Amino acid sequence: MDLLPAIDLRQGEAVRLTQGDFDRQQGYGDPAALATRYMEGGARWIHVVDLDAARTGVVHERAALDEIVRLASTSAVSVQAGGGIRTEDAAAELLESAGVARIVLGTAALEDPALASRLARRWPGRVAVGLDYRVGPDGVAEAQARGWLDGSGRAVTDLLDLWAEEPFGAVVVTEVVRDGTLEGPAVEGLTHLLLRTALPLVASGGVGSTQDLYRLAHLKAGGRRLAGAIVGKALVERRFSVEEALAACAASD
């Protein structure tokens, strides 16, 4: 299972939100310094999100992203980037010019699923979809759009079925209420999704300990395992090191 340390960007700073709430933001300083710490710890991926772009569709943090990509290129580290990618031209700019290894489509994929399919076919394995969701009173996991501000009206399982045959590099799955809480990942929901789709799933949200990562690495359903785990707050707050996280991700039965 791949480890993807997360760096969320806002106003040139590395930040973390709690449960997607922009009023519950904590700052963690220079994004490039944080990326360097993660890479020196052995991370082979860095997951970067432009938070304001996710809400507005307008790029805010390109300079910070470019610097992280530059640093990553000197260490053979891959950068996955998301936030505000709404068009094919925006995807091309990141994948063909900026040096990003993989992009994550969020709002655009929900509002125009055909666009997501088209991009996946143009860049096989280099396009991911981000399915951030809230579970409603009816038990249905509804995908969230525009920086988690709006419900999409689409069930996560329906979208997975729709894209079942597309060559996506990953599906990043986040239960919003767990994000930034350090209270543990949504193991039950992830198990259900592993049974539902053959697409590679990357878990995000709630990881607070290496034991959480160990559980995710050992999670198996329908003969399938998770492709990766995104870890944000726990790493930036040094709950454990990148080296310890990598060891937990590499654990096997």
Residue 149: the pLDDT is 61
Residue 25: the pLDDT is 85
Residue 139: the pLDDT is 81
Residues near 192 by Cβ (< 8 Å), separated by ≥ 6? 221
Angle at 121 between CA 56 and CA 166, to 5 degrees: 90
Residue 88: the pLDDT is 97
Query: Which positions of the chain have pLDDT values less than 50?
Result: none
- In a 3-state reduction of DSSP, which class is residue 83? coil
Note whether 183 and 206 are within 8 A (CB): yes
Over residues 190-225, the pLDDT tens digits come to 999 999 999 999 999 999 999 999 999 999 999 999
Catalytic residue numbers read 8, 132
Note whether 105 and 127 are within 8 A (CB): yes
Domain ranges for the chain, please list them: 2-250
Residue 218: the pLDDT is 96
CATH topology of domain 2-250: TIM Barrel (3.20.20)
Distances (CA, A) of 224 to 124, 163, 185, 186: 21, 18, 18, 17
| Residue 32, number of CB atoms within 10 A of its CB | 15
Residue 134: the pLDDT is 86
Query: Judging by DSSP bridges, how do beta strands 141-145 and 150-155 pair with one another?
Result: antiparallel
Question: What gap in Å lies between CA 2 and CA 166, rounded to an integer?
Answer: 21
Question: What gap in Å lies between CA 131 and CA 207, rounded to an integer?
Answer: 17
